[in-house]
Amino acid sequence: MTFDNWLPLLILLTSLLPGIVIFVLPEERVRWRTTLNMGGAILKLGLIGIMIWGVRHEHVYDFRMPILPNIELVLNADAMSVMMTALSGVLWFLTTLYAIAYLETSPQSRSRFFGFFSLCVSSTVGIALAGNLITFIMFYEMLTLTTYPLVVFRGTPESMRAGRIYIAYTFGGGAAFLIGVAWLKALVGSVAFTEGGMLAPYVGAYATQLRFIFFLMISGLGVKAALVPLHGWLPKAMVAPAPVSALLHAVAVVKAGAFGIVRVVYDVYGIEFSGELGLLQPLTAAAAFTIIYGSVRALFQDELKKRLAFSTVSQVSYIALGVGILGPIATIGGIVHLVNQGLMKITLFFCAGNFAETLGVHHISHMNGIGRRMPWTMAAFTLGSLGMIGVPPMAGFISKWYLGTGGLTAGKPWVIAILVASSLLNAAYFLPIIYRAWFREPAGSWSARPSIGALETHWMLLFPPLITALLALLAGLLADAPFSPLEWARLITAREYRP
Amino acid sequence: MTLPAWIVSLPLLAAVFTFVFPRIRIWAGIFTAIITPLMVVFLGREILAHGAIQMQVGGWQTPLGIQLYADGLSVAMLGITAIVIGCITFYARCYFTGDVSSRYFWPLWMFLWSALNALFLSGDIFNLYVTLELLGLSAVALVALSQTADALSAAMRYLLVSLTGSLSYLMGVALLYAANGTLSIKLLATTGAASPSIATAFALMAAGLIMKSALFPMHFWLPPAHANAPAPVSAVLSALVVKASFYILMRLWLVIFEPFINPSTAQLMGVLGAGAIIWGSVQALVAERLKLLVAYSTVAQIGYLFLIFPLSSITQSNHTAWQGGFYFVLSHACAKSAVFLAAGSVIYSFGHDRIKELHGIVRRMPVSMFAFALASVSLIGLPPSGGFIAKWLYLNAALTGGHWWWCVLIIIGSLLATAYVFRFFSRAFSYSPEVVEERPVPWIMEWTALGLALCALILGFIAPAVTTLLDAGNPF
């Protein structure tokens, strides 16, 4: 075992161990807790940096531990896992910062919050680094378990109800996924992720069974990815505290589902083989429907976080859409959206949290003139929503561009129609917010401008959305630069389609 | 090689000692709780190196003497017993505080341990009967230690069931002895032949043992007994005592009866197991008290154990099914004892365990609730945990043979388990500002529960080692 073997495990442990220690720390040890959290997050970023460099140079990082006869726990790094890991590493760092300030006055136990928060991120990293379906399942279920206490963190009847719905949906999905995996294992004996897929040789004997297994696995993953009609839990789960919603929508739960779909289609079935089996049409159809449905529902929400939640339902399906269209360009679009959507959506949720925490504003109808009171936050929000609409040069434009071109190249012009409709709807539910915030007269008691020199809110609440908004902008502006998300998505795609 | 004899006698000596010298009972108990696990470890090393061992106690040969027999399966059971009882001993030291019940608890506790160890080491069917009887009697007495009216009537019912079960088993023993002239399991395996008397013997023994392991619909005695006993006792009853009779049934099935029994018998056992999973889970879903919920969860989990019969009758996956079944026994032992101990701490602290009134206890006793949650992960069968490994092996066994309906059952059982566990947690996590009177729980009680829950978790990572141990000496 060399350093290269241990690196994936180390990255996992940088959040797992602090999480465990935080549980044991007494409530009042704030400084210890902060140090552990931030230390772990920074260490993780450093290790991820090493890994990014290594994977680009075709280094192999591979940790194996047998957990059953002929089944191993495998953590390894391919281009795709590095992307997810890096996304979660960066966003964890910022969200922790945000959460420390956000929960300063919470009556609930912060040890519990940060403990589960770290476990939640560890599960995300585990999902990203999982080298086979068994390992994936382990962390996938761990993610469900560790987010439950975060969703119900406030303990109000409303959040308990949301928690119950969340559990019912996700464990139902988890069960379907588990059966799919067990079946596949019994059928072909191997469940390792392989670039380019590994099931093509079995088509003759098991075509029907493989189709059924695909259906089971995708519907299991679709629950977390909030594919309609499996999305019901997501808008309810927004009762969670803002940092939790931010992480849930950007990188943790929803992304875990989307990432799982990418894995199953590309690294288990193989994109060409999925096409041969005729599995991609239903997937793209479900994704397209979800995109429109989510946007339409978002139009009618007055609660800001709810509107954002429905927007997530819609946006995450861009990933599934890109995945389901055969052809490298659409693949790039889907995969790059994993990162882009994460950056934009976390910005929006951070901002929503700031409005709620600083001014007590939860509803869009109360947001008149909020841009004058909190210009920086609102600027970040504006950037994020423009990105969602797909205005160049924001990151969202890159995703949509590649998805659209990919659809055309694959001979599916209807993809353009979906994208246009969705963008119009996005504009219809985001632009009014922006208009209200900047151009209407302030109405609330907070209408006074902040005094010159004073920050509009706590600096730890303000900087995270500014940074993520900036990153979302840069991901679009510098899309062609080395190590940009787009460039990395191209690398992944090149390896997936490698002959 | 006298290690097996010592593993049986040390707790027995401790039982006598704690009874005669009550003033040092706690220290004698803790001494035993530390030494016995060590001996089991040494025995395990011996068996991994040299295979199964046999021992004639006192040098008397087979027809007359007591024969002890140990293979990997026995050691695994001894080991899990040592871990569970060892941990609970520390818990019990704090739970029973200086009253009459403490005085009687220690001798009975050590006696129960001795009986369990003897049971797992017995090599002949009559000795198995004796140990079964001793086990039943000490268990009943321990339930009665609660001294409440409910506990006493539950203990009485438990006693009747236990005696009836043993008696039925004993008649089977008599029939086998009459037909084959030997009591040794080893010899019975070679001399047995298909005949009406062997079928009757099986029916009698199986009926007795099923009754004692509380398989649906013979589970009626279990929930009151397990829910009303003192917490350390509930833990050991659910974790080990019901498994002991299941273990005997397995042994007999594997060595003596499997070739002679109509395959539909295995399917019937599976159907009863399915009934247990559904019925137990549904009852747990509506239970109003936490310990009752946990007791019904035991009823459900016992159902999983009996799925081993239909699954192991699938030829290609015979071995996987056995491993899965015993993995279930091991992980359930850790998880269920942890859950009962945590529930016991709740009662210790609040004086009741009515689920509806347990708002926000996650805040008040985080360690116990964490233990409860972690153990529930294993009970539900979510990864990473021993329960997941067991379910995975089961699923694998069923799918390899194409018997997908057992998979559906296993998944439904898991979802029901999720539902009843989270019904409790949605109370436990809810926020209520009201101040409730509570008695501080000693840290040892909270942490022993967590320790056992961690064992269930660790079982999820060490399956290759454990399955190697289970296979040592070819018990399957």
Contacts of B395 in chain A (CB under 8 A): 178-179, 182, 186
Which amino acid appears at position B323 of this protein? Q
Q: What is the pLDDT of residue B210?
A: 94
Could you give the ipTM of this predicted complex? 0.88
**Which chain A residue has its CA at the smallest distance from B404's CA?**
A183
How many beta-carbon pairs under 8 angstroms link A with B?
97
Q: Among residues B119, B116, B161, which one has the least CA distance to residue B138?
A: B116
Binned at pLDDT 50, 70 and 90, residue A5 comes out as: confident
Average pLDDT, chain B: 89
Between A160, A171, A179, which is nearest B407 by CB?
A179
Q: What is the pLDDT of residue B98?
A: 64
Q: What is the pLDDT of residue B296?
A: 95
Neighbour-count burial of A223, counting CB atoms closer than 10 A to its CB (0-12 exposed, 13-18 middle, 19+ buried): buried
How would you classify the pairing of strands A71-77 and B53-56? unpaired
**At residue B57, does pLDDT exceed 80?**
no
Binned at pLDDT 50, 70 and 90, residue B111 comes out as: very high
Distance from the Cα of B29 to chain A's closest Cα (Å) equals 30
**Which chain A residue has its CA at the smallest distance from B376's CA?**
A145
Q: Among residues B31, B17, B78, B81, which one has the least CA distance to residue B53?
A: B78
pLDDT in tens, A121-166: 999 999 999 999 999 999 999 999 999 999 988 888 888 999 999 9
- At residue A302, the 3 state secondary structure works out as coil
Q: What is the pLDDT of residue A326?
A: 84
B376 and chain A: CB distance < 8 Å anywhere?
no
The rounded distance, in Å, linking the Cα atoms of B61 and B80 is: 30
**Which chain B residue has its CA at the smallest distance from A171's CA?**
B415
Q: What is the pLDDT of residue B61?
A: 67
**At residue A444, does pLDDT exceed 70?**
no
Average pLDDT on A96-125 reads: 87
Interchain CB distance below 8 Å, B461 and A65: yes
- Percent of the residues in chain B that have a pLDDT greater than 90, as a whole number: 54
CB atoms within 10 A of CB B38: 10
Report the Cα B2 to chain-centroid distance in Å.
26
Distance from the Cα of B39 to chain A's closest Cα (Å) equals 27
Distance from the Cα of B95 to chain A's closest Cα (Å) equals 23
Interchain CB distance below 8 Å, B407 and A167: no
Q: Among residues B330, B259, B318, B266, which one has the least CA distance to residue B72?
A: B330
Distance from the Cα of B12 to chain A's closest Cα (Å) equals 37
Least confident stretch, A193-207, B224-238, B453-467: A193-207
Report the Cα B330 to chain-centroid distance in Å.
8
Secondary structure (H, E, C), chain B: CCHHHHHHHHHHHHHHHHHHCHHHHHHHHHHHHHHHHHHHHHHHHHHHHHCCEEEEHHHCCCCCCCEEEECHHHHHHHHHHHHHHHHHHHHHHHHCCCCHHHHHHHHHHHHHHHHHHHHHHECEHHHHHHHHHHHHHHHHHHHHCCCCHHHHHHHHHHHHHHHHHHHHHHHHHHHHHHHHCCCEHHHHHHHCCCCHHHHHHHHHHHHHHHHHCCCCCCCCCHHHHHHHCCHHHHHHHHHHHHHHHHHHHHHHHHHHHCCCCCHHHHHHHHHHHHHHHHHHHHHHHHCCEHHHHHHHHHHHHHHHHHCHHHHHCCHHHHHHHHHHHHHHHHHHHHHHHHHHHHHHHHHHHHCCCEHHHCCCHHHHCHHHHHHHHHHHHHHHCCCCCHHHHHHHHHHHHHHHCCCHHHHHHHHHHHHHHHHHHHHHHHHHCCCCCCCCCCCCCCHHHHHHHHHHHHHHHHCCCCHHHHHHHHHCCCCC
Neighbour-count burial of A468, counting CB atoms closer than 10 A to its CB (0-12 exposed, 13-18 middle, 19+ buried): buried
A163 and chain B: CB distance < 8 Å anywhere?
yes
pLDDT in tens, A274-291: 888 889 999 999 999 999
B411 and chain A: CB distance < 8 Å anywhere?
yes
Between A73, A154, A167, which is nearest B422 by CB?
A167
Q: Among residues B87, B91, B94, B99, which one has the least CA distance to residue B36?
A: B87
pLDDT in tens, B190-206: 766 677 888 888 899 99
Interchain CB distance below 8 Å, B467 and A69: yes
CB atoms within 10 A of CB A31: 8
Which amino acid appears at position B49 of this protein? A
Q: What is the pLDDT of residue A276?
A: 86
Binned at pLDDT 50, 70 and 90, residue B352 comes out as: confident
Average pLDDT, chain A: 88
Neighbour-count burial of A195, counting CB atoms closer than 10 A to its CB (0-12 exposed, 13-18 middle, 19+ buried): middle
Q: What is the pLDDT of residue A498?
A: 67
Between B382, B407, B411, which is nearest A145 by CB?
B382
B389 and chain A: CB distance < 8 Å anywhere?
yes
Q: What is the pLDDT of residue B299?
A: 95
CA-based Rg of chain A, rounded to a whole angstrom? 21
Contacts of B373 in chain A (CB under 8 A): 145
Q: What is the pLDDT of residue A156?
A: 87
Q: Which of B331, B361, B406, B426 to mutate to test the interface with A (most CBs of A within 10 A)?
A: B426
Contacts of A240 in chain B (CB under 8 A): none
**At residue A451, does pLDDT exceed 60?**
no
Distance from the Cα of B408 to chain A's closest Cα (Å) equals 9
Report the Cα A468 to chain-centroid distance in Å.
14
Which amino acid appears at position A100 of this protein? I
Q: Which helix (H) or strand (E) is A381 found in, with range?
A: helix A375-389
Least confident stretch, A6-10, A109-113, B283-287: A109-113
Least confident stretch, A369-383, A402-416, A453-467, B370-384: A453-467
Q: Which of A9, A22, A68 to mutate to test the interface with B (most CBs of B within 10 A)?
A: A68
Average pLDDT on B135-156 reads: 91
- At residue A194, the 3 state secondary structure works out as coil
- Percent of the residues in chain B that have a pLDDT greater than 70, as a whole number: 96
Distance from the Cα of B422 to chain A's closest Cα (Å) equals 8
Q: What is the pLDDT of residue A455?
A: 76
The rounded distance, in Å, linking the Cα atoms of B49 and B58 is: 25
Q: What is the pLDDT of residue A452?
A: 56
Q: Is the dihedral of CA B185, B188, B193, B199 positive or negative?
A: negative
Q: Which of A27, A64, A67 to mutate to test the interface with B (most CBs of B within 10 A)?
A: A67
Interchain CB distance below 8 Å, A171 and B463: no
Q: What is the pLDDT of residue B392?
A: 92
Q: What is the pLDDT of residue B331?
A: 95
Angle, alpha carbons A4-A486-A395 (nearest 5°)? 130
B466 and chain A: CB distance < 8 Å anywhere?
no
Q: Which of B359, B430, B462, B469 to mutate to test the interface with A (most CBs of A within 10 A)?
A: B430
Interface of B with A in 428-447 (CB under 8 A): 429-433
Interchain CB distance below 8 Å, B431 and A156: yes
Q: What is the pLDDT of residue A98?
A: 92
Interchain CB distance below 8 Å, B429 and A179: no
Between A66, A137, A152, which is nearest B383 by CB?
A137
Contacts of A179 in chain B (CB under 8 A): 395, 407, 411
Between B360, B377, B415, which is nearest A175 by CB?
B415
Residue A107 is given by DSSP the state S
The rounded distance, in Å, linking the Cα atoms of A252 and A219 is: 18
pLDDT in tens, B260-305: 777 788 899 999 999 999 999 999 999 999 999 999 999 999 999 9
Is residue A263 within 8 A of residue A272, CB to CB? The reply is no
Interface of B with A in 61-120 (CB under 8 A): none
Between B366, B377, B429, which is nearest A152 by CB?
B429
Q: Map out the domains of chain B as residue ranges.
A: 264-476
The residue with greater pLDDT, A443 or B410, is: B410
Least confident stretch, A32-41, B98-107, B373-382, B409-418: B98-107
Q: What size, in residues, is chain B? A: 476
Binned at pLDDT 50, 70 and 90, residue A380 comes out as: very high
Binned at pLDDT 50, 70 and 90, residue A341 comes out as: very high
Interchain CB distance below 8 Å, A67 and B384: yes
Contacts of B331 in chain A (CB under 8 A): none
Contacts of B426 in chain A (CB under 8 A): 152, 160, 163-164
Interchain CB distance below 8 Å, B377 and A67: no
Q: Among residues B103, B78, B110, which one has the least CA distance to residue B11?
A: B110
The rounded distance, in Å, linking the Cα atoms of B416 and A2 is: 44
Least confident stretch, A375-384, B294-303, B425-434, B455-464: B425-434
Distance from the Cα of A295 to chain B's closest Cα (Å) equals 32
Q: What single string gives the DSSP state of each residue in A435-461?
A: HHHHHSPP-STT-SPPPTTS-SS-HHH
Is residue B183 within 8 A of residue B124, CB to CB? The reply is yes
Residue A26 is given by DSSP the state -
The rounded distance, in Å, linking the Cα atoms of A200 and A221 is: 22
Angle, alpha carbons B302-B303-B306 (nearest 5°)? 95
Distance from the Cα of A235 to chain B's closest Cα (Å) equals 19
B382, A243, A108, A45: CA torsion to nearest 10: 70
pLDDT in tens, A486-499: 988 888 888 887 66
